Amino acid sequence: MCGLCGEIRFDGRSADVSAVLRMSQSLARRGPDGEGVWAQGPVAFGHRRLSVIDLSACGAQPMQDPELGLTAVFNGCVYNYPQLREELIGYGYRFVGTSDTEVIVKGYHRWGVDVVDHLVGMFAVVVHERDSGRTVLMRDRLGVKPLYLAETPGRLRFASSLPALLAAGDVDTTIDPVALHHYLTWHAVVPAPRTVLQGVRKLPPATVRVVEADGTSREHRYWAPDHVRREEFAGFSERDWEDAVLERLRTSVRRRLVSDVPVGVLLSGGLDSSLITGLLAEEGQSGLATYSIGFESVGGREGDEFAYSDVIAERYATDHHRIRVTGDELVGALSDTVAAMAEPMVSHDVVAFYLLSQQVSQTIKVVQSGQGADEVFGGYHWYPPLAGLSPQQGVDAYARAFFDRDHAGVAQVLQPQWLTPTDVSREFVAEHFARPGADTAVDAALRLDTEVMLVDDPVKRVDNTTMAWGLEARVPFLDHELVELAAAVPPELQLAEEGKGVLKRVGRRVIPREVIDRPKGYFPVPAITHLEGKVLGLVRDALTSEAARARGLFRPEHVDALVRDPNAELTPLRGNKLWQLGLLELWLQQHGID
């Protein structure tokens, strides 16, 4: 787990090493254990290292293999690297160290761009071929690891975060109106390849981009599971599905133990992280380090779920850490949390993960986390209204249940010059639902959320906040083989028991029932969902600042109405609409965007 960056020139000039160094410095917190820069003519790579596998200098990056003519930078973890290493040794490859990075380099030489089909894990990889001048960029199947791009005539820059590209300079920071519409409609989700800035794009998940020495490029998507009923599972009973999911989940959790340092768990007290903890205990992980966070209650809203995380901690005798955060501590961390965001994210638990990661990183480097289970196993409230509908029939139902605003609502928020002529967010969903490979509206929604929403909300949130403190977070529910299996589960089993029916039944076979048979909880941060005091002041000041007025994104009358009654308008996901606007403005100001 690390931070990577680089520049590729196509105009006959040498790469700007000073720009790469600025990007690398911006990424320093992602990799506190080492740094490296490599440059050769039109190409330069930078890297910041978090040492988790092969702690020696043999795992340092950028990694060069003069014999094979390859140089690579890599962020993430390949969980099956020991098996791939043995396979490659059988083909005659010689290894200097024991890192997964070296396995990727040799694997690329053996299989070319098809190396991605062999990798099990989370990864963003960039490989340069000395002899051809070709550079290849690759991102993992579920987009757990980010890869941002900034292209100008004659040049391509890439980095693990958007702010790193800003640090390099010469980026078009004009707001992208389509991305802005997505942000306001889709709970701050901006689907790849867009970002809120015109000059920055992101490589989509499960994508390989090949860039030739002359700047021409091509992309292909290498993985896309169908959400359909498959012949191999015909005749499966409910118990058969439970058995299959449990077996695959055990494998996923076991895979994510590969490390040369200890692995802990972010334990929220919900089904997902509790199930991970129970399965790790079954793997013989005694004295497992677990971590939970809680906040002060605000506006009658509770700020912790310690009662449930304590049950799991006591059951498995974990080395449990309860982290309590005061209101003043939360306010003090907001600015730093916003600075850590690669893109603006409105979910109220971003600050929770940021503060949790700060504490956890003081005692451990690697944790497993429960993100992804709701999207993969049907745990959200907008799936049941889709039951019995075809994908085409499901678009309106999905939009009503999930969207923060419809197109008319966006028009009430934005100044006219920023409003797109059509409802681009609904059009995006409709096009996605219309793609083949989804049997029902529920299948289409699960596919959309797994491929898009999951990547640019919970997964990005966890990557940004943990890596801000040099902490590696692994997500077992996003093992691609588990996701493939879940995609085949009949919707009626996914939606049973008010959602996540199969996973709940699996859970009862592993962990205490009282953690499962209770109302669904959220990672609560009341001071963000119920704005008052210092947090409200921070948001109000950002939206009424001179910078905000000059930017002119939002209608003043709409902002004024929200400020007068800051908690009157909540989104279907319980988000605060004033916070949504204020967070975007805070993010733009934090990153120096005029």
Tens digit of pLDDT for each residue in 431-448? 999 999 999 999 999 999
**pLDDT band per the 50, 70, 90 thresholds, residue 299:** low
pLDDT tens figures, 24-78: 999 999 999 999 999 999 999 999 999 888 889 898 999 999 999 999 999 999 9
pLDDT tens figures, 158-185: 999 999 999 999 999 999 999 999 999 9
The answer to whether 38 and 182 are in contact (CB under 8 A) is no
Instruction: Say yes or no to pLDDT of 471 above 60.
Output: yes
The answer to whether 413 and 184 are in contact (CB under 8 A) is yes
Pairing mode of beta strands 63-65, 43-49: unpaired
Per the prediction, the chain carries an average pLDDT of 94
**pLDDT band per the 50, 70, 90 thresholds, residue 594:** confident
Instruction: Say yes or no to pLDDT of 591 above 90.
Output: yes
**pLDDT band per the 50, 70, 90 thresholds, residue 531:** confident
The answer to whether 280 and 368 are in contact (CB under 8 A) is yes
Res 523: pLDDT = 53
Cα 84 to chain centroid, rounded: 26
Beta-carbon count within 10 A of 89 CB:
12
What's the average model confidence in pLDDT over 482-502?
A: 96
Res 424: pLDDT = 98
**Cβ contacts of 459 within 8 Å, gap of 6 or more:** 142, 143, 144, 371, 372, 475, 478
Instruction: Say yes or no to pLDDT of 303 above 70.
Output: no
What whole-number distance in Å separates Cα of residue 324 and Cα of residue 311?
18
Res 298: pLDDT = 58
Beta-carbon count within 10 A of 429 CB:
24
What whole-number distance in Å separates Cα of residue 51 and Cα of residue 54?
7
What whole-number distance in Å separates Cα of residue 171 and Cα of residue 312?
48
Res 328: pLDDT = 82
The answer to whether 548 and 542 are in contact (CB under 8 A) is yes
Alpha helices in 476-555 (DSSP H): 480-488, 491-495, 501-508, 526-529, 533-543, 546-551
Return the SS3 of 155. strand
Instruction: Say yes or no to pLDDT of 313 above 70.
Output: yes
What whole-number distance in Å separates Cα of residue 528 and Cα of residue 346?
9
Return the SS3 of 547. helix
Instruction: Say yes or no to pLDDT of 198 above 70.
Output: yes
Res 278: pLDDT = 96
Instruction: Say yes or no to pLDDT of 534 above 90.
Output: no
Report residue 35 as tokens. Answer: 């740094």
* Residues across the chain: 594
Instruction: Say yes or no to pLDDT of 249 above 70.
Output: yes
Res 571: pLDDT = 80
Instruction: Say yes or no to pLDDT of 150 above 60.
Output: yes
Instruction: Say yes or no to pLDDT of 3 above 90.
Output: yes
Instruction: Say yes or no to pLDDT of 521 above 60.
Output: no
Res 522: pLDDT = 52
- Model pTM score: 0.96
> 25 φ, ψ to 5°?
-65, -40
In the DSSP assignment, the letter for residue 164 is: H
Res 524: pLDDT = 56
The answer to whether 369 and 475 are in contact (CB under 8 A) is yes
Instruction: Say yes or no to pLDDT of 541 above 90.
Output: yes
Res 567: pLDDT = 87
Instruction: Say yes or no to pLDDT of 454 above 70.
Output: yes
Res 304: pLDDT = 67
Res 47: pLDDT = 97
For residue 230, which of 481, 488, 493 has the smallest C-alpha distance? 488
What whole-number distance in Å separates Cα of residue 124 and Cα of residue 145?
6
Res 369: pLDDT = 95
Res 532: pLDDT = 83
pLDDT tens figures, 386-443: 999 999 999 999 999 999 999 999 999 999 999 999 999 999 999 999 999 999 999 9
Alpha helices in 206-302 (DSSP H): 238-255, 271-282
Instruction: Say yes or no to pLDDT of 573 above 80.
Output: no
| Residue carrying the six token digits 């987009």 | 143
Instruction: Say yes or no to pLDDT of 308 above 60.
Output: yes
What's the average model confidence in pLDDT over 541-556?
A: 96
**Cβ contacts of 557 within 8 Å, gap of 6 or more:** none
Q: Which contiguous run of DSSP H or E holds residue 487?
A: helix 480-488
What's the average model confidence in pLDDT over 318-342?
A: 89
Among 168-182, 277-291, 296-310, top mean pLDDT goes to 168-182
